Structure 1
Amino acid sequence: MSPSPASDGVRSIQRALDVLALLDEHHPTRTLREVVEGAGLPKTTAVRLLATLESRGLVARVAETTYTCGPALLRWVRLADRAWQVSPEARAAMRALVERCGETVNVYVRQGVQRVSIAQEEGTATVRSVVAVGEPMPLGRGATAKVLLSGAPDDLVTTLSEADPDLDAATLARQVASIRETGYAVSHGERELGASAVAAPLHGEDGRVVAALSVSGPTSRFTGERIPGYVEAVVATAHALDEAGLGPVEALL
């Protein structure tokens, strides 16, 4: 049986998104060859997709066979920026937490089987932890990921372990259960070697875990002497944000 037009359309959309996903802050441009290799597409398909994306302003040509983001994405960038902004009060609380701990502060949300930072205030140290806001990250590793899992369906742990053989479902489930009891998580080098984090859940008006607040930085600064202070500061700020709310963005969480 030949594929239906609907399934062909979905596959084309997926391929187009795969092409756009190849562009990021580390790769602001991509050659046709890189698109073919990175998206795993036949050259003729890549050429056709790029031509379609270019005609809609979603990619722009900077050389004969080199592409970058197109101007049509600017309106979506502005729209997403407005929709996913935390409130000024939440920003102020994040900055206060940076001043208290000296480390980078992020608010993460869960998107399916991934997590994404929607707000970041960088730490004050020269060497600090910085992530790309809006970039999908693993949900099975790190303090923030496990805090988000504490508010997710239990079967998501199984789904993650099935997709990643290095994740042990029983161990991850125990860690998530512990976080539900303690209200915070600490991790060292789980997502990235030499990086540590302390995280606590943020709750919506209905009591659901809608986001996670974290401080992160080099493991060398997350010592046994400092971690209790970090935990106290993160948990206190999370409780304050539970009372104040994150702003209109909560409607999306």
Structure 2
Amino acid sequence: MVYGVDMPMTETASGRADGGVRSIMRAVDLLDLFDAEHPWRPLREIVTLTELPKTTVVRLLATLEGLGLVADRQDGTYGLGARFLQWVRLSEAMWEVSEGTRRVMRELVDRCGETVNLYIRQDASRVSIAQQEGTTTVRSVVTVGAQLPLTQGATAKVLLGAAPAPVWELLERRHPEVDLAALRREVAGTAEIGYSVTHGERELGASSVAVPIRRHGRVVASLSVSGPTSRFTADRIGGYVDAVTDAAQRISAAGLGSVEVFL
């Protein structure tokens, strides 16, 4: 059984007070509704999930369909259009990590048995750009490329250690419910000991161990292992920390490949 599959983190257009063009933000929010579990959605569902007037949704769908970004199945359901194929292939090529990095990640899976992810920070979110699934039947999986919160989880505490002041200001605006003072203390503690361990922060029953990947003296990514909390016991966590730390140091020494130009 695979659990912990994440949908992209969506926010309403009105909630993104970052100067973005409202119509573009609405279109992106609409496209974010499609994923592996929902490749097609009926019009009424899109209207409900976007919380937009039906006329606005119909207009957005018509525009996106004209651009080849949305496909109409002629039965009232919509999905992503064929134009995305060229962008998907291009994006995969540009964001691909080196084979050496993949090899280290596979070896880490063999060593721990848990799912391994390599995360980067983008704006005020975190994104997995590479994943090797665990070997157990019950395992933790996230959607590669999906935006996840930068306020929860072991990886977030690692990546925030290198975040500039504007990122913290953005988090304060987007997540007023989060105690940022407490989060800052946790991030400082993570930076001091060199790793983070969390249980059930992002998802109940899921745990993670994360370690920074450094290039030229700065944190550019985070390597993590994650899985059911029931397996992240006190007698195992120490071994997980050692294994992830060793893997992260090897990747830091060798580099992530051409993707580093974006980091």
Matching of residue 147 in structure 1 with residue 174 in structure 2: no
Change (3 A) 1:166 1:49: closer
Q: Displacement of 1:159 after TM fit?
A: 4.0
The answer to whether the Cα contact below 8 Å between 1:161 and 1:168 also exists between their aligned partners in 2 is: no
Instruction: Give the number of aligned pairs.
Output: 244
State the distance in 2 between where 1:195 and 1:160 align. 23
Which of 162, 173, 183 is the equivalent residue of 1:172? 183
Deviations 1:45-88 (A, max 9, x none): 22122111111111111133211110000001101111111100
- Aligned ranges 1:172-191 → 2 under 5 Å: 172-191=183-202
Which of 21, 29, 50 is the equivalent residue of 2:40? 29
RMSD (Å) for aligned C-alpha atoms:
1.5
Aligned twin of 2:246:
236
The structure, 1 or 2, with the larger RCO (C-alpha pairs under 8 Å, 6+ apart) is 2
Percent sequence identity over aligned pairs: 59
Q: Displacement of 1:161 after TM fit?
A: 4.6
Structure 1 unaligned spans of 5+: 1-8
Bigger mean CA deviation after superposition, 145-154 or 67-76 = 145-154
Matching of residue 208 in structure 1 with residue 218 in structure 2: yes
Structure 2 unaligned spans of 5+: 1-19
Matching of residue 135 in structure 1 with residue 146 in structure 2: yes
Per the normalisation by structure 2, the TM-score is: 0.88
Aligned twin of 2:91:
80
Q: Displacement of 1:180 after TM fit?
A: 1.2
State the distance in 1 between where 2:165 and 2:110 align. 36
Secondary structure class of the residue paired with 2:234: coil
Secondary structure class of the residue paired with 1:146: helix
State the distance in 1 between where 2:210 and 2:42 align. 39
- Aligned ranges 1:186-201 → 2 under 5 Å: 186-201=197-212
Matching of residue 226 in structure 1 with residue 232 in structure 2: no
Moved over 4 A (4+): none
State the distance in 2 between where 1:66 and 1:201 align. 43
Per the normalisation by structure 1, the TM-score is: 0.92
Which of 29, 45, 48 is the equivalent residue of 1:18? 29
The structure that has the greater radius of gyration is: 1
State the distance in 2 between where 1:156 and 1:250 align. 20
